[in-house]
């Protein structure tokens, strides 16, 4: 976490720019380093969001033949005022934000208590100085949106130890790209500089992997997300999408023809649009992708076409990897890889930064996972190689599928059929038949995917059916255990074990373990955490939902 220091303390310097103030005394532990400013193009970046509302206003004027209502003029005045305010705030931020790296004098860095620091000053009325030792910086992320790329700048975010919620993250917006690259090199120069003996590149993009792009959520969900966004944009500029002529004609034609033809045709159109969108999104996210070790302790991921991203992860903060296999992607023989690492920000930032490999062949995913861990991936074994879970876990999944999927839908269709038309009664039994078979198959697949075990320094846990996740987690990174039960799991003699770690998603579950085996497994996986609870063997040793 950053350690604020008052101006005038060692290493902060007396003034905002090079050459200002007296020279440092001979016994000062840090050399005087000039402060550096953000790029002046920061002002244009802060005003970039104005393009969307001004564009909407221009489209409205174009659609109405230049007739702009009084409400539109009020909107234009508000936008102009906002533009002025944002420009002023951006000017203040640029003028009052500077940064530097302080380096200890020769002989002071080792044993003398002084260490290189990254200093950032900001604020107008209340000046804030944040100073972070470079050895605490774990990740350096360079992100450039299309606006940033047009202007030739990028955003630099430095994640520190303990910055999982983003509160200790240092952010500079915006820097010229060459300056940001140099600063990132400086910030990471104090990691272990030992060169990697073998090829430092773990993986590069292969466009043959594009065939896995349609096997993702965006094939279906992306179409509805785009449609919803377009509807909200049209509604925002006063256009009612449902009243447009071509929309009404489409719905009229759809209902006038045989539904057994139009419904499959509509699904094919959605699948086609979704597939194209998924491929485009894949290319935009993973263009120029490269995963490499920049030195023996720093892993870097570079990717992006319009919005570029370069994320660095220190090996000391890498706690494991997750092999993720969504249902469709698994059916196509593919998988993707995510890192379990600290210092990647909050949940949303962690989701964006933790990706190590796009959807790719499973063999490639296993190779990348092993290259990330610098050892064979422990989860590469078949599900049968892991410890199986009791059969009662299969029964629970079957019951849940029947109660929450089959029964409600069947009851609703049967009730509507009894009240309105017998056709829905036939739909009810067809629905019950199909969903029962599907639920039983998914329950069986979910049960087959359950497994856990220990492989050297790693805890391995596998679960899930819609997304089968295999996590290999360093055992010495486990900080606490949580034992979770419900009235149904207690009756079945099961417990869900969650390993809490200060990285990734903060906790990784091993669901439906036998209650009698869970404490022993947890104690073996991470010795010392549960010792005081394990006084008597047997079910009484289960510490319930206690967390330590």
pLDDT in tens, 130-177: 888 877 776 788 888 888 888 888 888 887 654 444 455 788 888 888
Q: Pick the more confident residue, 536 or 431.
A: 431
In sequence order, what E strands does 419-477 have?
A: 451-455, 458-463, 467-474
Which pLDDT does position 26 carry in this prediction?
A: 43
Q: What is the pLDDT of residue 2?
A: 40
CA angle 152, 158, 159 (to 5 degrees): 145
d(CA 291, CA 372): 9
Mean pLDDT on 31-46: 79
pLDDT of residue 219: 75
Q: Residue 327 burial (CB < 10 Å; 0-12/13-18/19+)? A: middle
Convert 227-280 into a string of H (helix), E (strand) and C (coil).
HHHHHHHHHHCCCCHHHCHHHHHHHHHHHHCCHHHHHHHHHHHHHHHHHHHHHH
Contact predicate 149/44, CB 8 Å = no
Where is pLDDT greater, at 15 or 444? Answer: 444
Cα 499 from chain centre: 20
- DSSP notation for 69-87: -HHHHHHHHHHHHHHHHHH
**Token reading at 177:** 């790209």
> β-strand 308-314 against 478-484: which pairing, if any?
unpaired
Residues of the chain above pLDDT 90, percent: 34
Q: Mean of the per-residue pLDDT values for the chain?
A: 79
How far apart CA 334 and CA 331 sit, in angstroms, is 7
CB 452 within 8 A of CB 524: no
- Give the residue with greater pLDDT, 220 vs 544: 220
Which residues, in sequence order, are bridge partners of residue 498?
Answer: 482, 509
Tokens of 461: 């846990």
Residue 360: per-residue pLDDT: 94
Helix (H) or strand (E) holding 165: none
User: Can you tell me the mean pLDDT for 11-39?
Assistant: 53
- Nearest CA-CA partner of 396 in 485, 473, 335, 315: 485
Q: Where are the domains of the chain?
A: 209-286, 292-387+450-541, 392-441
CA angle 347, 351, 352 (to 5 degrees): 120
Mean per-residue pLDDT for 105-117? 55
Report the DSSP pairing between strands 458-463 and 451-455. antiparallel
Compare 241 and 410 and report the one with higher pLDDT: 410
pLDDT at site 238: 66
Q: What is the pLDDT of residues 245-282, one digit of tens each?
A: 767 777 776 665 666 677 777 788 888 888 888 899 99
Res 125 pLDDT > 60: yes
Residues in the chain: 548
**Highest mean pLDDT range out of 116-125, 127-136, 152-161, 283-292?**
283-292
pLDDT 10s digits, 313-355: 888 889 999 999 999 999 999 999 999 998 787 788 888 889 9
pLDDT of residue 445: 95
User: What is the per-residue pLDDT for 347?
Assistant: 82
- What are the pLDDT digits (tens) for 494-517? 999 999 998 888 889 999 999 999
Q: How confident is the model at residue 13 (pLDDT cuts 50, 70, 90)?
A: very low
**pLDDT at residue 259, rounded to an integer:** 61
What confidence tier does 96 reach under pLDDT thresholds 50, 70, 90?
Answer: confident
Cβ proximity of 79 and 50 under 8 Å = yes
Question: What is the C-alpha to C-alpha distance for residues 320 and 12, in angstroms, rounded to an integer?
Answer: 37
pLDDT tier at 296, thresholds 50, 70, 90? confident
pLDDT tens-digit series, residues 170-220: 888 888 888 988 888 788 765 443 344 445 888 999 999 999 999 887 777
Q: What pLDDT was estimated at residue 467?
A: 92
Q: Could you tell me which residue, 2 or 45, shows the higher pLDDT?
A: 45
Burial (CB < 10 A; 0-12, 13-18, 19+), residue 528, is exposed
| Lookup: tokens for 131 | 């100073």
Q: Does residue 364 contact residue 388 with C-beta atoms inside 8 Å?
A: no
Q: Which of 29-33, 349-353, 398-402, 443-447 has the lowest mean pLDDT?
A: 29-33
Convert the pLDDT of each residue in 454-492 to its tens digit. Answer: 988 999 999 999 999 999 999 999 999 999 999 999 999
Tens of pLDDT, residues 211-244: 999 988 777 777 777 777 777 777 666 677 677 7
Q: What is the pLDDT of residue 47?
A: 67
Which residue shows structure tokens 């400086």? 186
Cα 24 off chain centre by: 44
**Does 288 have pLDDT greater than 60?**
yes
- In the chain, the N- to C-terminal Cα span, in Å, equals 23
- The pTM is what? 0.69
Rounded Cα distance between 543 and 519, Å, is 8
Kindly report the number of other CB atoms within 10 A of residue 14's CB atom.
Answer: 12
The Cα 230–Cα 222 span in angstroms is 12
């Amino acid at each position: 976490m950053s350690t604020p220091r008052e101006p005038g303390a060692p290493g902060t310097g007396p003034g905002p720019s090079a050459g200002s103030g007296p020279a440092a005394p001979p016994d000062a532990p840090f050399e005087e380093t000039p402060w550096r400013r953000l790029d002046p193009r920061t002002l244009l970046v802060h005003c970039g969001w104005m393009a969307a509302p001004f564009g909407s206003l221009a489209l409205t004027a174009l659609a109405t033949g230049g007739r702009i209502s009084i409400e539109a003029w009020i909107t234009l005045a508000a936008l102009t005022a906002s533009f002025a305010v944002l420009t002023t705030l951006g000017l203040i931020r640029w003028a009052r934000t500077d940064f530097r790296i302080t380096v200890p004098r020769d002989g002071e860095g080792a044993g003398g208590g002084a260490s290189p620091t990254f200093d950032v000053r900001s604020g107008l009325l209340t000046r804030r100085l944040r100073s972070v030792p470079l050895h605490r910086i774990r990740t350096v992320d360079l992100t450039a949106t299309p606006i940033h790329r047009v202007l030739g700048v990028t955003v630099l975010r430095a994640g520190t130890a303990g910055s999982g919620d983003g509160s200790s993250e240092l952010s500079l917006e915006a820097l010229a790209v060459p300056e940001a690259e140099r600063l990132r090199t400086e910030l990471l120069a104090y990691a272990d500089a030992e060169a990697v003996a073998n090829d430092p590149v773990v993986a590069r993009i292969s466009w043959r992997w594009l065939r896995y792009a349609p096997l993702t959520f965006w094939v279906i969900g992306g179409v509805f997300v785009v449609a919803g966004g377009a509807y909200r944009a049209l509604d925002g500029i006063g256009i009612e999408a449902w009243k447009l002529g071509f929309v009404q004609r489409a719905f009229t034609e759809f209902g006038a023809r045989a539904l057994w033809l139009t419904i499959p045709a509509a699904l094919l159109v959605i699948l086609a649009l979704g597939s194209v969108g998924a491929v485009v999104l894949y290319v935009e996210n993973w263009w120029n992708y490269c995963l490499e070790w920049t030195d023996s302790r720093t892993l870097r991921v570079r990717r992006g076409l319009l919005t570029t991203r370069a994320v660095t992860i220190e090996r000391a903060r890498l706690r494991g990897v997750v092999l993720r296999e969504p249902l469709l992607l698994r059916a196509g023989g593919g998988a993707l890889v995510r890192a379990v690492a600290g210092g990647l920000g909050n949940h949303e930032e962690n989701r964006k930064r933790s990706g190590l490999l796009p959807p790719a062949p499973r063999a490639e995913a296993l190779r990348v996972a092993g290259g990330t861990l610098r050892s064979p991936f422990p989860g590469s074994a078949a599900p049968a190689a892991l410890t199986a879970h009791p059969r009662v876990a299969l029964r629970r999944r079957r019951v849940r599928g029947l109660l929450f999927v089959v029964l409600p839908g069947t009851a609703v269709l049967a009730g509507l059929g009894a009240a309105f038309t017998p056709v829905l009664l036939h739909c009810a039994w067809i629905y019950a038949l199909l969903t029962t078979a599907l639920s039983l198959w998914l329950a069986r697949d979910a049960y087959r995917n359950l497994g856990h075990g220990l492989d050297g320094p790693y805890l391995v846990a596998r679960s899930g059916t819609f997304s089968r996740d295999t996590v290999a987690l360093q055992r010495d990174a486990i900080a606490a255990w949580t034992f979770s039960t419900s009235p149904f799991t207690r009756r079945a003699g099961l417990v869900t074990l969650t390993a809490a770690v200060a990285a990734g998603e903060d906790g990784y579950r091993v669901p439906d373990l036998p209650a009698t085996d869970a404490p022993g497994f947890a104690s073996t996986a991470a010795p010392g955490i549960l010792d005081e609870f394990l006084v008597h063997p047997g079910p009484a040793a289960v510490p319930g939902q206690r967390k330590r």
